[in-house]
Structure 1
């Protein structure tokens, strides 16, 4: 080949390469315009963005929709001693999540453990809204994303507001949210004691877990009734952490005059880790709002989780 022909072939090859690079920058592997999911969660989880959804947890709101596909489920105390759920998604997204309810001050400190999460909620009292605006998160209530929410016809308001997550500016990372918390899946620590059930009581609510060896899950019961998905399947967790916390009055209240409790998730205390049909005594520590919560054995060794959904219940001291 002549020198001119070599130059022409090289120029053509360079042009093709530039087109490939440009195309890769515009679309994901599926041509959707989104970055493809990582096949290496350990390398990307530290910066993984999560979607947190505030979910109703009183009897008229059950069964909840999409809760079984959450990576992490937090159960916290709200007004009148009732409970409410904060479900965190990252590895997968269901088409519908709900019923969606309002945010609380506790959520803002809790969610500081994640890297600028997206928070979906039905609203909040006017005094709390400025704090939500200042918080390092992306808030997407119905006023911001009206097309993402709809009212179901089978339940009365306020227990019938649902979210279509594909209609908000969020894309699942494909990584497990537990890894964004600095936690890992792995073998259980040595020791532990056989445990087949555990109940956490709030003043007006109960959350119970019963070990099922057949399903390899802690089956959930809410206020004495077995919890189920919207398809009728039992709702379960691979690991349950009962975290001993201080729950104190806040400066907020509801329309009925009930004070909104604030759950302190910064500090330290005892915990109980349930996995594989055993209970492990543990300690939890979180040095500041920007720090992750560490769960360790009494002698300071990290406790790993069983693979699957994690439920964390904040048990009042």
Structure 2
């Protein structure tokens, strides 16, 4: 049977529902001989604001622009990211911006050029480091004024290398450790509005898979109970990682955003889409095999994005990597 949460395939998302059930384990019991004078349990480490997982310390934030067409796959290092943003670019295609902080892979890439929408997303992270390879000439002044540390291949060339066996420009990879070394004052991870919980809230609709369409790309997120992740398929092919295994995350956020033409365009004349991530809107959060209708709100570029359920309560994500799919119900034409 098919369940649709407030929109249809024509709007860009297809939801395929299935019945499911869950059961919880019995709570533990105190050990024999426990007394009221026993020492309290050690304080748990604080949660990382991007993943909800325990972390000993907050580390600097690195954003990396990554190719997301078949020519640049398999991607490397993406599975170590805390957050992965999907953004529409020229020609109706998509590009990724991966956010790293809690852990760093040895290499990440292929690293590609930045877009104007990145500059509107990044201020919520303070002043992070941004790794990219080139921008349109008209956009250079915007990058210089943006709230970021430029660690592009032209500013931090020693942190990059060309990987054999790949064709340029899809063979440029960066070392996150070296990239952050070039931005010693990059902001450390702070609250950006995410809330996490071990158990899913009530009100979700069971789903097997959910699809999102862009003008020239299609993503399907299929729930794997065995891996407790939504596995990513792009344009009908499994999205595999260079390190092995399929890309995927415990939480997928489908955030409906306004998308229109920016003042920039590529040499073919295709306009660069401008993705509006400040304001209010609706969306869907996928976790634990269920889909939840949500509302999102971001008051300014310096603020994070909050996600709430229909009753106004914070929508908790599953702990681990989060993918944020920035999609438009009416995608801007290529």
User: In which range does the TM-score fall when normalised by the shorter chain?
Assistant: 0.7 to 0.9
Say whether 1:56 aligns with 2:62.
no
Q: Mean Cα displacement is larger for which, 230-239 or 300-309?
A: 230-239
Contact kept? 2:58, 2:102, Cα under 8 Å: no
Contact kept? 1:269, 1:285, Cα under 8 Å: yes
Task: Give the whole-Å Cα distance in 1 for the aligned partners of 2:200 and 2:296.
Answer: 17
Match of 1:232 in 2: 244
Match of 1:184 in 2: 195
Contact kept? 1:69, 1:93, Cα under 8 Å: yes
Structural mapping, 1:135-284, within 5 Å? 135-170=146-181, 180-186=191-197, 187-284=199-296
Contact kept? 2:48, 2:102, Cα under 8 Å: no
Cα RMSD for the two superposed structures: 2.4
Match of 1:311 in 2: 323
Q: Please say which structure displays the higher CA radius of gyration.
A: 1
Structural mapping, 1:18-167, within 5 Å? 39-41=45-47, 49-167=60-178
Which stretches in structure 1 are left out of the alignment for 5+ residues? 1-37
User: How far is the alpha carbon of 1:47 from its aligned partner?
Assistant: 7.4
Aligned length: 278
Task: Give the whole-Å Cα distance in 1 for the aligned partners of 2:304 and 2:243.
Answer: 34
1:20-63 CA deviation, whole Å, 9 max, x = no partner? xxxxxxxxxxxxxxxxxx95346999975310000000001011
Contact kept? 2:91, 2:216, Cα under 8 Å: yes
Task: Give the whole-Å Cα distance in 2 for the aligned partners of 1:239 and 1:42.
Answer: 15
What secondary structure sits across from 1:127 in the alignment?
helix
Task: Give the whole-Å Cα distance in 2 for the aligned partners of 1:299 and 1:123.
Answer: 44
Contact kept? 1:48, 1:180, Cα under 8 Å: no
Contact kept? 1:237, 1:310, Cα under 8 Å: yes
User: How far is the alpha carbon of 1:189 from its aligned partner?
Assistant: 2.1
Task: Give the whole-Å Cα distance in 1 for the aligned partners of 2:57 and 2:142.
Answer: 25
Compared CA separation, residues 42 and 217, structure 1 to 2 (3 A): closer
Going by fraction, where is helix more abundant, 1 or 2? Answer: 1
Q: Mean Cα displacement is larger for which, 41-50 or 199-208?
A: 41-50
What secondary structure sits across from 2:143 in the alignment?
helix
Task: Give the whole-Å Cα distance in 1 for the aligned partners of 2:219 and 2:128.
Answer: 26
What secondary structure sits across from 2:137 in the alignment?
coil
Task: Give the whole-Å Cα distance in 1 for the aligned partners of 2:306 and 2:59.
Answer: 18
Tell me the TM-score normalized by structure 2.
0.79
Compared CA separation, residues 42 and 309, structure 1 to 2 (3 A): closer
Which stretches in structure 2 are left out of the alignment for 5+ residues? 1-43, 50-54, 330-334
Task: Give the whole-Å Cα distance in 1 for the aligned partners of 2:259 and 2:57.
Answer: 29
Task: Give the whole-Å Cα distance in 2 for the aligned partners of 1:96 and 1:69.
Answer: 10
Tell me the TM-score normalized by structure 1.
0.83
Using CA pairs below 8 Å that are at least 6 residues apart, which structure has the higher relative contact order? Answer: 2
